[in-house]
A and B are shown apart, each in its own frame.
Chain A
Amino acid sequence: MTELPDDIQVETEEGRRLAEQLQDSRRHARKLLEVKNLSTHFFTADGVVHAVDDVSFELDYGETLGLVGESGCGKSVTALSLTRLVPNPPGRIVGGEIIFDGVNVLKLSNEEMRLLRGKRIGFIFQDPMTSLNPTLTIGYQIAESARIHLGLSRRAADDRAAELLSKVGIPRARERMGDYPHQFSGGMRQRVMIAIALACDPMLLLADEPTTALDVTIQAQILELIRSLSAEFGTAVILITHDLGIAAGMCDRVNVMYAGRIVETGAVDDIFEKPRMPYTWGLMDSLPRLDEKKGERLRTIEGLPPDLINPPNECRFAPRCRYARDICREQEPELTPREEERHFARCHGTEPGGWIQ
């Protein structure tokens, strides 16, 4: 991973511990992931769709970050961009930097990228049925990744697969390795996906709406599994979801996305207690809640998200915003800091001295 300086002798016990410490401190000095001014556009017949537009964020080692927003806000495209899996054509990363564990992802060759994807970054997608190959056994599909990326022998890879399967909570793991995906229920398949994602002990787990296709009780199982395994392995997680409740329960920090932009980012408590962006309020407000009596009219966000072909230089939420003033339509606000540490919002009104307080 990190090369050791020559003067540390790894052979001795002491040297090894020192080397580990050094590696550790180096790791903590930097971020696992730094995304700087990432823009991903789709070149369609109708025009250039600015799906992800100048997005910057960071992720610490072992941290869980939520990407929250409605469909079409760019959260999935952001995740695909991180691993350079944006379908091309029509999509292309047109600008920015992605530094993953010190490596500039956008400068890697395709072969290096393939290694990075399998070994350092694991994926879980929304639909566990289509992400598994129906003609291969579960055991094979888990072991495959371990064989390719960790260079394990067949037997060792099978052992690893069995261990992972039982770790993700599949009973009688050894026996079930010979089963095919259709013999598993939706929740079980998602567990298998998690096992595959974790096969190479990745540093980052990308979970794109991992529970949207599942029932609420199964959702709770899967979320709990992701939570406990990421804690056990120290894996950082980027959780993409439209469900604020899931983000509240799972994440350390949250990025709220709207129309290709990050409109608010901060620690999960700050986002939920002191949101500083009208869109975030709208999202929270338009949900009916479990603890509410039947009743009041829900406050809605009127209208639809804007068209991302040639967005004008205005706050992208302004047309739907109840607080919007002239400045919002003349100048798009920057992502500027708010009171709390690492809390940023993109809103003229909630900036210090703004009219929404």
Chain B
Amino acid sequence: MTNGQGTAATDGRPLIEVEHLKVYFPILAGIFQRRAGEVKAVDDVSFEIRKGETLGLVGESGCGKSTTGRALIRLREATDGVVRFDGIDLTTLSSGELRKLRRRMQIIFQDPYSSLNPRMTVGSIIAEPIETHNLVQGRQARLERVKELLRLVGLNPNYTNRYPHEFSGGQRQRIGVARALAVEPEFIVCDEPISALDVSIQAQVLNLLVELREQFGLTYLFIAHDLSVVRHISDRVGVMYLGKIVELGPPTAIYETPAHPYTRALLSAVPIPDPKAERRRKRVILTGDVPSPANPPSGCRFHTRCWLYEKLGRPENCRTDDPELRLVGDDHRAACHYAEEALKSDVGVAHLDRTVYRAAIPEVTPGPTHASVSASVASQAAPGEGDGEQQAGGSQAGEG
């Protein structure tokens, strides 16, 4: 999907509105499980996701991005704040009403191994949402629908009888996608959907997600720690640190003119597959670890690791005032007192002046036997693009 198409699908009305969302987890102690403190996994986060848009959420582990994603579809209860789905406040919905609404929002998980019940066949895994919401009447029709979904995600429709352990990681992830699509949702939370997969399989699944988005006009919240993947798929990107969104804006702003020192540090830490750019680049190595969300630093939460704070001579307001997420450019917000200073910096944008571009990859020239090759490839890939993977996986399953 190109940028142009992306905006065409976006009509600007927010599908998801999040206002001052807080999710705290109690820390219990003692035999009476008294509340000894709380982990502020998500601490006062506000944003919206427009219809047809993909919002990418990046951050390091423990920054609260997964919890935010789960709170958005109320798999986690919000401690405070409002989450509206198409105008309906989810946080006050009764469980019956919520169950009905679950048809419209779904989630895809990170771990292709733990996200499928090992004791259920693929057919019953995908049929479960259909039965739960009684979407298709009759066993035969339901089976047809399951097969259709398998075909949609590029799997062999005859695999309904197989168990998850007979599939490879990439195929399992496709099964998870089929399960999410079974209810014909409008909104899908993709929680690190490709980070557990091998490089070549990552691209296959990522392509599938993009295709499905185009085909069904889906809205995604795409959570990942890999900045390049997020850039590839997102219309807007949010960067989280210690339970807060520190920067939010279109990918070009986030990746080319980042306004928060944390975003710049993150970008500068990403290895670039280009030895020359790597040698030339100016790195900001963040010192220390992410502080505990049970006891976040005062003021700006990033100031304990912030290079800009050091550079500016440790200004006092960084330690005392929590910066607001404020507008610093066109649709571009950052939560930093000194965002203007950050914008002037050249830290973290080394990827922009790469000299080596994608290795010039030759086109396939027709050789003496080329026609037969492409014919066999085409027949292999017939039901969907993941079919090659699936056939290999099938034989693998047979052996294992």
Question: Footprint of B on A, CB under 8 Å?
Answer: 46, 70-71, 185, 187-188, 215-221, 223-224, 242-249, 251, 268-269, 272-275, 280-307, 309, 319-320, 322-326, 355-357
Contacts and interface: CB of A to CB of B under 8 A. Distances in A.
Contact of B359 (A70, A275, A309, A320): A275
B395 interface: yes
The 3 closest A-B pairs by CB, nearest first: A245-B271, A288-B232, A303-B388
B270 interface: yes
A302 B252 CA distance: 30
B352 interface: yes
B42 interface: no
B389 A303 contact: yes
Contacts of A309: 399
Contacts of A291: 255, 351-352, 354
Interface stretch (B293-301, B313-321, B337-345, B364-372): B364-372
A231 to B, nearest CB: 14
A220 B228 contact: no
B74 interface: no
Interface in B188-230: 198-204, 206-207, 210, 225, 227-229
Interface string B52-69: 000000001100000000
Interface residues of B, number: 79
Interface stretch (B22-30, B111-119, B177-185, B273-281): B273-281
Contact of A288 (B229, B285, B364, B370): B229
Nearest to A327: B369
Interface stretch (B1-9, B77-85, B92-100): B1-9
B232 A292 contact: yes
A280 B234 CA distance: 27
A270 B362 CA distance: 16
A315 to B, nearest CB: 13
29 contacts: A215-B290, A216-B227, A217-B266, A218-B60, A218-B289, A248-B272, A248-B277, A249-B271, A272-B274, A285-B359, A290-B351, A292-B228, A292-B232, A294-B2, A295-B1, A295-B2, A295-B3, A295-B232, A296-B2, A297-B207, A302-B388, A302-B389, A305-B392, A306-B392, A322-B364, A323-B362, A325-B373, A326-B368, A356-B365
Contacts of A269: 275-276
Contacts of A302: 204, 377, 380-381, 385, 388-389
A70 to B, nearest CB: 4
A295 B232 CA distance: 6
Contacts of A294: 1-3, 6, 231-235, 251
B173 to A, nearest CB: 13
Contact of B228 (A280, A289, A297, A300): A289
B400 interface: yes
B168 interface: yes
B273 A284 contact: yes
The winner among B276, B367, B399 for most chain A CB atoms within 10 A is B367
B286 interface: yes
B158 interface: no
Nearest to A323: B364
Given A281-B361, A320-B388, A215 B60 contact: yes
Contact of B358 (A215, A284, A324): A284
A128 B354 CA distance: 33
B200 A245 contact: no
Contacts of B392: 303-306, 319
Given A215-B290, A218-B289, A272 B203 contact: no
B113 to A, nearest CB: 13
A326 B204 CA distance: 26
Given A296-B2, A298-B207, 10 more contacts: A217-B285, A244-B199, A245-B270, A285-B358, A285-B359, A285-B361, A294-B2, A302-B388, A325-B370, A355-B365
Contacts of B380: 302-303
Contacts of A301: 200, 203
A356 B225 CA distance: 36
B168 A249 contact: no
